[in-house]
Every structure is written in C-alpha cells, then in structure tokens.
Structure 1
Amino acid sequence: PGQEGQGEPLEVNVAGMQYAWIFTYPETGVMSGEMHVPVGQPVKLNIEANDVIHAFWLPEFRIKQDAIPGRTSQLGFTATRVGDYPIICAELCGSYHGGMKTRLIVETPEEYQAWVQENQFASADTMEKAVAVNPTTMSEGEFLAPYASEMGIDSQTLQHLDHSHHHPEIIK
C-alpha cells in the first residue's frame, strides 16, 4: 500500500552481528557498513543476525525489526526526505552493544547512483572470477582480522574470540 507507481523496491540484505550492521545490495554487489538509499524509492530489507538477537531500529522512521539468527525478517519503507539518519541496535546484544550504531543516508537518485558506482569493486566485464564474502558466515575473528592492527589486537586474541563463548570441553 502507498507504493504504487514508485517502481521496484531496492532490495538490501541486512546482517546484524556483534557489533556491526553490514548492508549488501544483491543487485549491484555493493557491501557497506552504512545503508544508502535513493529518496522516493521503496526499499525492501531482508534482516538476519549472525550470532545473537539484534534489533534493527531506525528511530526517525519509527520502524524497528528484530534480527534473529537462522531467520530472515522483512521490512519495507520509502524515504521521503534526503538526509542522514541513525540506525541503532535496540536489543542488548553483548558488552559493546552501545557501539552498534551506523547510519542511513537518503540521497537523490543521482547521488545514490554515484555512490553505487564508487563502491562497486568488481564487474563481470573486468574480472574472470569474483569471490563473494558473506559476513554472516564469518567468525568474529575472521571478520575483525583485517582491522586487528589498527585496533591493537594480536592474533592470539582473535583466535580466542572464535571460541570465547563456548565451553572448552565441547568445542576444541
């Protein structure tokens, strides 16, 4: 309702994980830590969680949806104003829950297309083979590995993250 004549929805896959939101655009292959959408176009979100329950909350749009491991929840909206809006995890999800924030950037269609072109890293014309990485299947250590040196984390700490929430007799 209310979306007739506005074109096909922009599909965005949303992955919640301790402690980040990852947005993947299946149509273009773009993956980002912040969500970009064009103003006036319907948006369809496919929301999942990698680890624990999260809650995708876009307060200024008055929408919130749980992100549950093993389940895909859908949520739709159409942004009516260009702007920068906070996205917050509204479910206590661990010790760094308060830092699980990002933003929705609503842009003109032209600005959105420019963002997509700047963020597409590969196309069929320029690469023989593309490797897709799904952050929802990565361990915390694998996800953080590229940022470890910037964050001052050593490799032993990353290895420990993969099993820090499991009983040592069960997972070896």
Structure 2
Amino acid sequence: AKPADVVVDITGIQYGWLINYPESGVLAGELHVPVNKDIQINLSASDVIHSFWIPAFRLKQDAIPGKDTQLRFVATKIGEYPVYCAELCGAYHGAMRTQVIVETQEEYEAWIAENTFAEEPQLDEAIAVKTADLSESEYLSPYADEMGIDSETLNHIHPN
C-alpha cells in the first residue's frame, strides 16, 4: 500500500481525543488535515472503549485499549466537521467532542508551523519556581491575560 500523505496518532481518553502529529511533534485537541490528501489515523484508547466518529465523512472506528487500529480517508471538501465518541464511555461521554478542520495544503502547513513553534521549549527563558511557596494570586498571575483578567482584579479575587 502507498504511504499516506499525513499520519496522525489519535488516542481516546475519558473524555477527549489526544491528537498527535508524530512527524512534527504537534499535540492538539482538534484534527487538522489538508484537503484531497490521503490521511492515516492510528487509533488507540488508553482507558475504556471509545468510537471515533465523523458523521459527515460516514466514518466510524472503535478505539479499544490494547489494540491499535488504522483508519484512512481523503477529505474532499474544505470546512469544519464535528467528531464524536460513539461508544458510551462514562459519565461525561456526551462532552467527548472535537472537530476535523479540512483546509488547503498551505493553511495546514501554516497551522503545523505555528503549533510546532509553540511546542518548542524556550530554555533560555525557563525559570524554576517553587509553586508551593506562592500565594494563589502569585500562582495565577502569569495566566491572567489568557483568562481575560487584569492583575488588579486578580488581587481583589485572591488578595495576598
């Protein structure tokens, strides 16, 4: 068989899909694929049985712990398509969703490059911090911008 254009490792866990692009090392929560390319998914589960289901593609495959399976497809239309777990896997099974984003080759390559850069360690900027000695405010302050909270509001919520 001809090798796939893109290989993606997907692992089902309660209650999400870990989507790994082994060639680039990108780990994501959604599946990005280039349009009109042969995609191979190496599917596994780490805890209970899951089922990877893309209704728009009429594609469904069980993910069974201890058993690796492969799934191949070619997405022919650019767009965003929901992905569900189709096997009752626990209390939060209904929230086990993600999406397939089918994009141009250029958009796919740009997404991989953007996320590869984000994954690279910034060793010259790394500082070891003993988090046990931090107040809640000090611990949360580096994440305030991501959460949409300014430092003044954070200090009101969690004063030192």
Paired position in structure 2 for 1:115: 111
Q: Aligned to 2:53, which of 51, 57, 77?
A: 57
Structure number, greater radius of gyration: 2
Superposed CA deviations along residues 38-83 of structure 1, whole A, max 9, x for unmatched, are 0011000000001000000000000100000011010000000000
Once residues 29 and 11 of structure 2 are traced to their aligned partners in structure 1, the CA distance between those partners, rounded to angstroms, is 10
Q: Which amino acid letter does the alignment assign opposite residue 104 of structure 1?
A: V
More helix by share: 2
* 2: CA distance, partners of 1:122 / 1:55: 28
Which of 91, 95, 115 is the matching residue for 2:91? 95
What residue number does 2:79 align with? 83
Match of 1:77, SS state, is strand
Shift of 1:9: 2.4
Equivalent residue of 1:103, what SS? strand
Aligned to 1:145: none
**4+ long deviations beyond 6 Å:** none
The 8 Å contact of residues 4 and 40 in structure 2, kept in 1 or not, is answered as no
Give deviations 1:98-117, integer Å, cap 9, x for gaps.
00000000000000011001
Aligned-pair identity in percent equals: 52
Q: Distance in 1 between matches of 2:50 and 2:114?
A: 30
2:23 is the alignment partner of 1:39: no
Unaligned 5+ runs, structure 1:
128-149, 151-172
Count of residues in correspondence between the two structures? 124
- Normalising by structure 1, report the TM-score: 0.67
Question: Aligned with 1:40: secondary structure?
Answer: coil
Distance 2:61 2:48 in 1: 14
Q: Distance in 2 between matches of 1:15 and 1:92?
A: 16
Match of 2:23 in 1: 27
1:8 and 1:62 mapped to 2: Cα distance? 20
